[in-house]
């Protein structure tokens, strides 16, 4: 096709040419030949994708991942794609990023739809991983009403889709449904201690409502539902400015800033690495267990000890600064994963220091890109280093 095109181009140029402009004709031919060479190189280029398991059409599942361009969603997409399934990602990119899933662009098993699940979606699928929701306090507090709509209307839409196409649905709930717990560690049978009108209520309560809707659809419409209550998770592709404890301390350490504690630093958290969570989500979807399941790491650390560990891994001696305690900040958070062990044969494998080393390497690379004024996808609403510093040092950082 290109050779024929060139033939006619040269013929046309030859007809227009006369003896006075042979130099111009030669120059044009050289430019066309250079263009042809570029076209040939492009046609020879084949994008290399991560290795994907081969599955027959009957073995492949059509899987929808809402929020699939986000931190957790993109890692889940990687796993499902490598397992050989056909994956459709739906995301409105409020907190997600195309850079998280760009390695799959163009793959025949992958499709991306820019869509807000507050609006209905019509698609044929076998399974739905419903992750769409802002998950860090600065993001879900930024537009509290939108957060409530995403977790309520969005979940109704996904349940309606599951009912129409008879798909299995996994809803990613949160440890925030336990609020500031009075039972420790927290089992799935604990009903929680949540402030229904506090600043975090838009997220906590909408997730609780979404769980109730899942079980209402399961009882009334016979939908197969799975509910994962996810505890603190960290790893590569976290938004550097999301205000969570791990990202906050890593950024401050890398920038040689003081480490900020809110309260006395004796609050506790349990941190699981992203790979462990993804394994748990897939195991839950593939199981026959339909009640809520805690997915988290039962190793408990104080916030102060976590800050010092991150400082040690980064390798500097930042001072620790104590500020006023945040409103509704849970004092203790640790999952009871007895159900996950029994029903899913799952438990986390990654130690905190090991996971932090991988995460810090990622953060260091991203921070270097930002400092060098390159296009950094994780800073999707920041314009400068000063804005990042302002967020990190503000009183809105969540522990």
Could you tell me the residue ranges of all domains in the chain?
62-393
For residue 352, what pLDDT is reported? 95
Give pairs for 286-291: CB < 8 Å, separation 24+.
287/226, 287/343, 287/344, 289/226, 289/339, 289/343, 289/344, 290/218, 290/224, 290/225, 290/226, 291/188, 291/227, 291/339
Note whether 55 and 84 are within 8 A (CB).
Answer: yes
pLDDT reported for residue 29: 74
**How high is the pLDDT of residue 322?**
83
pLDDT at residue number 321: 85
Q: How far is CA 277 from the centre of its chain?
A: 12
Q: 10 Å Cβ neighbour count for 302? A: 16
**Predicted pLDDT at 376:** 43
Q: In what helix (H) or strand (E) does residue 233 lie, and over which residues does it extend?
A: strand 233-234
In the chain, what's the furthest Cα-to-Cα distance?
94
Question: Which of the residues are catalytic?
Answer: 203
C-alpha–C-alpha distance, residues 97 and 139, integer Å:
14
Q: What is the pLDDT of residue 102?
A: 95
pLDDT of residue 21: 61
Low-confidence ranges of the chain (pLDDT < 50): 4, 374-399
Question: In this structure, are residues 171 and 227 in contact, taking their beta carbons and an 8 Å threshold?
Answer: yes
CA 239 → CA 11, 118, 131, 294, distances in Å?
56, 23, 16, 24
- Secondary structure letter of residue 203 according to DSSP: H
This prediction's pTM: 0.83
CATH code of the domain occupying 62-393: 3.40.50.720
């Amino acid at each position: 096709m290109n050779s024929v095109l060139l033939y006619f181009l040269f013929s046309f140029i030859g007809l227009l040419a006369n003896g006075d402009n042979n130099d111009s004709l030669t120059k044009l031919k050289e430019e066309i030949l250079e263009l042809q060479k570029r076209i040939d190189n492009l046609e020879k280029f084949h994008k290399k994708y991560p290795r994907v398991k081969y599955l027959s059409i009957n073995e492949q599942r059509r899987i929808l991942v809402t929020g699939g361009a986000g931190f957790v969603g993109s890692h889940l997409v990687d796993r499902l794609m490598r397992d050989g399934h056909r994956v459709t990602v739906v995301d409105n990119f409020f907190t997600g990023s195309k850079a998280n899933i760009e390695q799959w662009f163009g793959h025949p098993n992958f499709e991306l739809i820019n869509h807000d699940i507050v609006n209905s979606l019509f698609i044929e699928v076998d399974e739905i991983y419903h992750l769409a929701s802002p998950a860090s306090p600065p993001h879900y507090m930024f537009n509290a009403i939108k957060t409530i709509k995403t977790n309520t209307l969005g979940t109704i839409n996904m349940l309606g889709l599951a009912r129409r196409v008879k798909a299995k649905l996994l809803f990613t709930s949160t440890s925030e449904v336990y609020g500031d717990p009075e039972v420790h560690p927290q089992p799935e049978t604990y009903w929680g201690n949540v402030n229904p009108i506090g600043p975090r209520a838009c997220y906590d309560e909408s997730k609780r409502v979404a769980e109730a809707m899942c079980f209402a659809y399961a009882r009334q419409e016979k939908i197969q539902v799975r509910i994962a209550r996810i505890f603190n998770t960290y790893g590569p592709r976290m938004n550097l400015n999301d205000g969570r404890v791990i990202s906050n301390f890593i950024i401050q350490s890398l920038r040689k800033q003081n480490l900020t504690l809110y309260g006395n630093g004796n609050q506790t958290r349990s941190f699981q690495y992203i790979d462990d969570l993804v394994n748990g989500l897939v195991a839950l979807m593939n199981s026959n267990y339909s009640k809520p399941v805690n997915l988290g790491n039962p190793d408990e650390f104080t916030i102060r000890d976590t800050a010092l560990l991150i400082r040690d891994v980064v390798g500097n001696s930042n001072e620790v600064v104590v500020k006023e305690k945040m409103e509704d900040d849970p004092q203790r958070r640790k999952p009871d994963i007895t159900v996950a062990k029994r029903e899913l044969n799952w438990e986390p494998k990654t130690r905190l220091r090991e996971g932090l080393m991988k995460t810090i390497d990622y953060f260091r690379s991203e921070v270097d890109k930002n400092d060098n004024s390159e296009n950094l996808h994780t800073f999707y609403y920041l314009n400068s280093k000063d804005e990042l510093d302002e967020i990190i040092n503000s009183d809105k950082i969540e522990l």
